[in-house]
């Protein structure tokens, strides 16, 4: 922490030790030596972040509770560009990838960050910062072969284009079985991009991704509420996206620096649970004015335009001829805007005390709401090594078309009374749940109180945070009744009539035992208590009361980096999880060990790595109740050559 800086807390570079918030930087060297092969996998080393897997290619990342694939309470950025889905406000981690060798660091701000970043930064911000083109001159080729026939290939070439102008191009291909045992269908993904930059002046980034896999989708026909026929068809689930981003930094005066950023991203997805085309165009300008060395203000403006075209409409859908699962919308398309402005004042009072106060005003055209996200923070230096900080902040969630305009169908199966379905599988009957959108206009929000302590010396660092959060207008999914016109339908309704209180602790440690051996540790605990708040509207019944409850969640990890010799590195990651949901959901606790052995005879020689995940896990374990993907021992061989 003594030498580490980050930009995510204020959009301008700050030393970690000067930030009165729960912050963490995961450096590129640690990512590479963790044995991780995806960005999401590496994030499990960050205190307070939970990473689980719906399949081998579909990770979920959440912060401070609220697990699930549609986690919308954390903003994810890549080089400052938002990666959020305009449909539900979260990110689709299966489509987020990069050459890990070209990631400089991942900056994580835990807790509310609405004052700087706005909607969907309720529980934090993750900013994936890639290396500059100047740092990645020359070439790189890399390949990974994993157990069960999964593999990855990547290449990068950097070039000096002129005076202080550098470029880089990369390509990465990944072929992975979704589940080697239960679903060996291959998921193939391509990522590519180009970076052109002028040092300390401007940067242009363009790129895209494409992924796809074959899936057997069945449709069920119904008559008078009973299933009469099932048909299967093999469908290619395809998605792609492309983007362009331009950043410009400039000195406006001796006191004021400015940063300008403009980007667009276009997405297409044919998956039945998120079908459509989505376009976002963003522009923002941020400034910092230093009146003196002790007093400065940061301020800026931002604008986002969103356009969405939806594939399936509920008005024209036949509820007697139903996909296995599908999302329907009550509108064919939509366009809206988000406009925001923020200001933040930072002051130093003597040698020991500094404060930060600020607020962001944000207008959401979709529901015609204005939201205010203020924060107040203070940092006090007890000694050169010990620092205390405290803060309070509010953040809100941008409204979601998935919640307000979409219905979701999911087929289920049951055995009629009096039938022996084990002996006669054809006796099974089908039904489906239909979850209808909420008509309420409330915006989910949180107020979080935090207190932190840091200790930093030459060899030992300790960073701890305790927090208490109060969430309002949390979305719930309540059973209403059977559909009046289709008896095969269980009808559910989304509402915003829930509140959640959470309490937690997050601890990070770094111990440099020797020049060749370093340990990193992380631990977090969180408790969530959900309450029904029917005063918000008169249409809910409270039967989703305990969905978000967590009686106790413990996550822990230890990472070691050991340079055995100049040519050999031996590293390991120990990780553990214990979760008590406090209801009928049962999840086994687990303790797992990953190891990496790296061999490089000289700086100009290839690097060969042996990666073993979940050592000794022959029976495997489940990370979460969502999906049925089991984590087992997996061996991989990775080789890379930089020239």
Low-confidence ranges of the chain (pLDDT < 70): 1-3, 536-538, 584, 626-627
CA 58 to CA 49: how far, in whole Å? 16
CA 597 to CA 606: how far, in whole Å? 14
pLDDT attached to residue 414: 87
In the predicted model, what is the mean pLDDT of the chain?
Answer: 92
Give the H/E segment covering residue 356.
strand 353-364
CA 33 to CA 570: how far, in whole Å? 9
Q: Do residues 40 and 51 touch, judged by C-beta distance below 8 A?
A: yes
pLDDT attached to residue 583: 72
Cα 89 to chain centroid, rounded: 11
pLDDT attached to residue 2: 56
| CA neighbor of 243 nearest in space, from 37, 96, 40 | 96
3 state SS of 9:
coil
Is 5-642 CATH 2.40.170.20?
Answer: yes
pLDDT attached to residue 536: 57
CB atoms within 10 A of CB 70: 18
pLDDT attached to residue 1: 58
CA 213 to CA 150: how far, in whole Å? 14
Tokens of 377: 């923070």
Domain extents for the chain? 5-642
pTM summary value: 0.94
pLDDT attached to residue 627: 60
């Amino acid at each position: 922490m003594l030498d580490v800086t980050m930009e995510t807390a204020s959009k301008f570079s700050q030393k970690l030790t000067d930030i009165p918030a729960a912050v963490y930087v995961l450096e590129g060297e640690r990512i590479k030596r963790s044995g991780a092969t995806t960005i999401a996998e590496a994030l499990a080393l960050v205190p307070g972040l939970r990473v689980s897997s719906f399949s081998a290619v579909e990770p979920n990342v959440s912060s401070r509770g609220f697990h699930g694939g549609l986690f919308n309470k954390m903003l994810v950025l890549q080089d400052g560009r938002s990666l959020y889905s305009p449909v539900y406000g979260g990110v689709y981690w299966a489509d987020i990838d990069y050459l890990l060798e070209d990631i400089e660091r991942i900056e994580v701000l835990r807790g509310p960050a609405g004052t700087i970043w706005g909607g969907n930064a309720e529980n934090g911000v993750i900013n994936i910062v890639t290396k500059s083109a100047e740092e990645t001159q020359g070439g790189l080729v890399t390949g990974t072969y994993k157990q069960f026939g999964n593999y990855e290939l990547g290449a990068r070439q950097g070039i000096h284009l002129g005076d202080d102008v550098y470029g880089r191009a990369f390509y990465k291909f990944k072929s992975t079985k979704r589940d080697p045992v239960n679903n060996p269908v291959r998921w193939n993904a391509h990522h590519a991009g180009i970076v052109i930059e002028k040092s300390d002046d401007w940067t242009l980034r363009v790129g895209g991704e494409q992924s796809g896999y074959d899936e057997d989708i069945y449709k069920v026909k119904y008559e008078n509420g009973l299933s009469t026929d099932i048909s299967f068809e093999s469908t290619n689930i395809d998605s792609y996206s492309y983007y362009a981003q331009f950043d410009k930094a400039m000195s406006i005066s001796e006191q004021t620096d400015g940063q300008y950023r403009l980007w667009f991203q276009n997405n297409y997805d044919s998956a039945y649970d998120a079908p459509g085309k989505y376009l976002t165009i963003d522009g923002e300008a941020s400034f910092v004015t230093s009146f003196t060395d002790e007093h400065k203000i940061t301020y800026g403006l931002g604008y986002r335009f969103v356009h969405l075209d939806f594939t399936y409409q509920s008005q024209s859908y036949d509820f007697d001829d139903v996909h296995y699962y599908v999302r329907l919308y009550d509108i064919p398309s939509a366009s809206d805007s988000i406009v925001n402005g923020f200001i933040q004042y930072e002051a130093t009072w003597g040698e020991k005390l500094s404060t930060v106060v600020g607020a962001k005003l944000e207008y959401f055209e979709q529901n015609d709401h204005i939201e205010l996200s203020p924060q107040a923070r203070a940092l006090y230096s007890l000694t050169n090594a010990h620092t205390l900080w405290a803060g309070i902040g509010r953040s809100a969630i941008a409204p979601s078309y998935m919640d307000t305009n979409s219905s979701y169908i999911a087929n289920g199966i049951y055995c009629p009374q009096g039938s022996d379905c084990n002996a006669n599988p054809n006796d099974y009957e089908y039904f489906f749940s239909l979850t209808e959108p909420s008509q309420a206009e409330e915006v989910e929000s949180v107020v979080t109180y935090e207190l932190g302590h840091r200790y930093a010396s030459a060899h030992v660092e300790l960073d701890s945070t305790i927090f208490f959060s109060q969430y309002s207008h949390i979305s719930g999914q309540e059973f209403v009744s059977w559909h009046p016109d289709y008896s095969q339908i269980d009808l559910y309704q989304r509402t915003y009539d829930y509140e959640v209180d959470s309490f937690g602790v997050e601890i990070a440690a770094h111990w440099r035992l020797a020049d060749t051996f370093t340990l990193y540790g992380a631990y977090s605990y969180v408790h969530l208590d959900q309450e029904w708040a029917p005063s918000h509207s008169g249409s809910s019944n409270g039967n989703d009361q305990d969905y978000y409850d967590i009686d106790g969640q413990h996550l822990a990890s230890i990472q070691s980096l050991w340079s055995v010799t100049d040519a050999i590195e031996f590293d390991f990651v120990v990780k553990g999880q214990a979760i008590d949901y406090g209801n009928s959901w049962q999840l086994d606790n687990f303790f797992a060990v990953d190891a990496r052995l790296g061999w490089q005879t000289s700086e100009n020689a290839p690097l060969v790595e042996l990666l073993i995940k979940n050592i000794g896990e022959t029976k495997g374990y489940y990370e979460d109740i969502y999906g049925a993907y089991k984590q087992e021992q997996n061996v991989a061989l990775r080789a890379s050559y930089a020239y």
